[in-house]
Every structure is written in structure tokens, then in C-alpha cells.
Amino acid sequence: MADEAGLTPGAAGRIGVLGGGQLGRMLGLAGLPLGFSFLFLDPSADACAGSVGDLIQAGFSDPEAARKLAAAVDVATFDFENVPEATARAIQSTCPLYPAANALGAGQDRSAEKALLTRLGIQVPPYHEVSSRTDLLEGLDRLGYPAILKTRRLGYDGKGQALLRDPEDRERAWQKLGDSDLVLEAFIPFEAECSLVAVRGQDGEIRAWPLTRNVHSNGILKLSLPGVFDQALQSMATGKMSALMEHLDYTGVLTIEFFLVGGELLVNEFAPRVHNSGHWTIDGASCSQFENHVRAIAGLPLGGTGMTEHSLMFNWIGEMPDRRRALQISGLHWHDYAKSPRPGRKIGHATLTAPSLEDLQAKAVDLARIAGGEFPALLETIFD
């Protein structure tokens, strides 16, 4: 079992995960072959990670449940960044928690997150804190239209946001979000959205996967394509990542989402965890984000982050396309999270792999046709 330094290097053990969604499930699927077992904590009795480990059904603010998890595992982590910082601190007082509570807290408030990045010399979109109608007017005077009003806490996948195109939208946005603390951001006319997923070991070694181009629709990630940006951009992104990871004395996988505009990378947000835009690493990289997160928190050597083939990930939101038809495409890797379908819910993804970008694009056209909906149109934007 655990000693003060955490797991005995090289020895398998039990990993606790706060959150039992698809990210926890994929952490489990990556950690089981390394010999680890998993204990998840999630409010839902049918949390989909429950099929790859044991499950404590409890809320994230339940201190008794957090203590129970901490007492039963060698090391703990999370698959969900909105775990209350107090719960993370309670766990940390009993067993090692990676990333640590300070890193979890750093990204939970959009305004504090932007202030931290700015202090570290990392550029973010111009923003203005808003807690009153007067602040909103001041912010719009300063930033102009269009602008995006966002809740400071608990927003994700475009939730808790309102786009203000002109003064007509102001009152509607205030009615929708005015009950929360807010931040107003300048709307960035980006050329592309991209993300960097990286891992830092307990010894401070940092490895980053290739920068990944992302296409969103209605605030939700739909497509991720790694390996299409040049080395200069990769180095720029990795420099920002290293500054943040070192400042937080981070252990595990961290993701930064960027807007690419005029050759610059502005940070939209960071997530102290494995990320949807890194799912392609399961099938397209030497070592996946999930396996490397497990390796990092267990104090094991990190695996390679290079691409083994060209990859493209399709995210299945609310419904999955016909599996039998999709599996006819060679190089298709299917991931069903075993969650019941509901509009807007992430229920699975598929990654296509191919030896060349041309081959990948041809396969992607086939898969987009099978998936239907907006996929054929979105595909055109990612390969342009």
C-alpha cells in the first residue's frame, strides 16, 4: 500500500478517481494492463466508469465519501475539474492527489485563470470582469462588439455563455446569466482552434503530443486532427505549457485550448485533466494521454507522445452512427462509452488512422457521409 511518497515505483496499486464518466473509464481501460485497479466516486449509480472498476456512489461535496475513497487507494486523481477544491484538499490530507488541489482550483474560475496566465506572460483574449449591469456596459465600451459573456464558474462545452453581437443582445444576455459572477471576453476571429495536451512526471519531465486542430459546433468539440501545424507553433504552445506546468508544480496530463489568430496563440482555457481533444492518442500515438496520466501519477516512466499514424477523431454527441457501416472503413477505431443516448451528451467517439494525410481525408469523407448531420460540412473546415 501507499507510503508517504505514494506508490512504490514499479509496483501496481489502486487508483482512486473523482468522477466516473468516460474520461475515468478510459483512464481505467489504460491502467488495467499496467496492473492497476480502480475505485471511482460519482453521484450517478450508472456512471460508465463503473464497468472498469469499483464505484462509490456519492456527491463530490460529500466529505465522508471522499475520505472513504482516500483511505482505500494508493493515489487519487480526477476526471472532472469542477470537484470542489475543499474535497480535493480533504483527499490530499490522506493520500497523494495528482494533479494537486492548487492546480484543480487554478482553472475553476475563468477570471482567476486569465489573471494567472497573464501573470505568467501567457496571452489571453482581452477580458473584463462583470458583476453588475454597469460593469457590462463598461466592458462593452472597452472591448466592443461582438463579445462573449461567460459565467466565471462551472461553464463547459459552451454552457453558461451568451454571444453579444450588438447592443440589442445586451439585456437578453444579462437576463440569462446576470445571477452569476461573469467575465466578458472579446470575440476572437480565430483562423483555427487548437489544443495542446501534455504530461508532466513527478520528476518534472514534460512531454507534449502534437498540437491538435479542433472544430467545435454549438460550443462542443466535433473533430480533432493532430499533426497539421508547423514546428514553430508547436514550440510556441509547448513553451506556454511548460511555464504553466512548472508554475503549478503539476503532475499528470494538462490541456490548454488555444485560438490561433495572426500567427499568435491566445489561451481560451486550460483543463487540469485528460481531454476530449486528446482521445486520438489512444489509437494514433505511441502512448495515450490516459496511459501517460496513469504513469505520471504512479511515478512510472512516461511513454512516447509521437504520432504513430495520421489520425482524426469524430466525437459522437447524442447519437452514434451505424457501427456496422463505420467498421467497414479500414483504420477505424470505435469507442462506445456505454452511456444512454441523450441530446447533447458525449456518448462515444471514433478515431480514423491512416499512413498519409490524403488517405486519412478519403476515409474521413466516408465516415462523415455515414455519420451525416453537420459532419460533411465540418470536415471541409478542418482540412482546409
Binding site for ligand AMP (CB under 6 A): 125, 148, 155-158, 185, 187-188, 193, 216, 219, 257, 268-269
Q: How far is the CB of 125 from ligand AMP (least distance, A)?
A: 5
Q: How far is the CB of 373 from ligand AMP (least distance, A)?
A: 18
Q: How far is the CB of 93 from ligand AMP (least distance, A)?
A: 32
182 grid coordinates? 461573469
Nearer to ligand AMP, 2 or 188 (CB): 188
Nearer to ligand AMP, 124 or 312 (CB): 124
Nearer to ligand AMP, 125 or 252 (CB): 125
Angle at 230 between CA 227 and CA 235, to 5 degrees: 100
Residue 250's CB: how many other CB atoms inside 10 A?
Answer: 26
Nearer to ligand AMP, 69 or 221 (CB): 221
Nearer to ligand AMP, 126 or 373 (CB): 126
Give the span between the Cα atoms of 343 and 266, in whole angstroms: 31
Residue 280's alpha-carbon distances to 113, 264, 348, in angstroms, are 27, 25, 12
Question: 25: Cβ–Cβ under 8 A, 6 or more apart, which residues?
Answer: 48, 49, 51, 52, 337, 338
Q: How far is the CB of 104 from ligand AMP (least distance, A)?
A: 18
Q: How far is the CB of 118 from ligand AMP (least distance, A)?
A: 15
Nearer to ligand AMP, 55 or 233 (CB): 233
In the chain, the DSSP E strands lie at 14-18, 37-42, 54-57, 75-78, 127-130, 147-151, 161-164, 182-186, 192-200, 206-208, 212-217, 220-226, 252-261, 264-271, 310-317, 332-336, 346-354
Please give the residue whose beta carbon sits closest to ligand AMP in the complex: 188
17 grid coordinates? 478517481
Give the span between the Cα atoms of 369 and 219, in whole angstroms: 22
Residue 87's CB: how many other CB atoms inside 10 A?
Answer: 25
Q: How far is the CB of 184 from ligand AMP (least distance, A)?
A: 9
Nearer to ligand AMP, 147 or 253 (CB): 147
Q: How far is the CB of 148 from ligand AMP (least distance, A)?
A: 5
